[in-house]
Amino acid sequence: MLDIRPSPIAGTWYEANPKALAATVDSYLNNAQLPELNGRVIAIIAPHAGHTYSGHVAGYAFAALRGLQPELVVILAPYHNYSPHHLLVAAHEAYATPLGELEIDQAALAELQADLELPITAIANDREHSLEIELPFLQRALKNEFKLLPIMVRAQSSRIAKRLGDALANVLKNKNALIVASTDLSHFHDSKTANILDREMLKRFESFDPDSVFDAEHTEKGFACGHAAVASMLWTAKSLGAEKVQTLKYATSGDITGDHTSVVGYGAAVVLKKI
């Protein structure tokens, strides 16, 4: 029996009923109209609001994973609560969602820790939504069994993000793996302002320059709560030979609620390596 991290958000951030959850996630995946992707998907960027708000955007990112059979999925997500620690991991052996359990790859975690000068601190019963919200999409998009390497990034430091990215690249270079970077974009601006800020941040993602992502945040030209997680992913993907970031979908919460006075931005993207 595995030590399971129980879901603190099933029934609020997404459906608690397994059949309803599967049907909802499948609808987001099926409705995604993907452009031609010229290359192999190494990583994706996906939003992490409640499925009602950002699920239709996340569906584009995860639909790009259909047909792939990774043995390991790395999830890099921000940590929205206070912690004195820079990098966090669930102090459990598996995550639970209504669709089943996903085991954490303890060997890969130990390998990552051995390559890092910073500790990855294990915490029990965390309430972080930004990592868990992606799991039902993985469970429906990927048909094979896989394990997780889930890292919550609290530090907003380019130095730490690069160190994590470099260490991850060392761990993944001989593995059949995918990376999910979890982030929303700007928060609580009107739609017109949000569109400007979010397009700029998506442009920084597409530049494949992790330092420019931090620059946008620091100069307030664009915002992403998971910018450090995305930057780490970009450094990892670049080391693994990826060459292109392609935005697949952009929307805001206003597109769902009809309230355009104060919105949250959501983007979906893939990171591609030439075949």
Domains of the chain: 24-192+199-259 (3.40.830.10)
Place of tokens 């990855």: 120
Question: What's the mean per-residue pLDDT of the chain?
Answer: 97
In this predicted structure, what is the pLDDT of residue 244? 97
At 275 the pLDDT is 86
Strand partners, 122: 89
Give the model's pLDDT for residue 1: 87
What is residue 134's DSSP assignment?
A: T
pLDDT digits (tens, 9 = 90+) for 125-148: 999 999 999 999 999 999 999 999
Asked whether the whole model's pTM tops 0.95, one would answer: yes
**Segments of 60-104 assigned E as strands:** 72-78, 87-90, 94-97, 100-103
**How far apart, in Å, are the Cα atoms of 32 and each of 24, 25, 63, 182, 212?**
13, 11, 7, 18, 29
Work out the average pLDDT over 206-217.
98
Residues 6+ away with beta carbon under 8 Å from 220: none
Q: Other CB atoms closer than 10 Å to residue 47's CB: what's the count?
A: 30
Percentage of the residues of the chain whose pLDDT score is greater than 70: 100
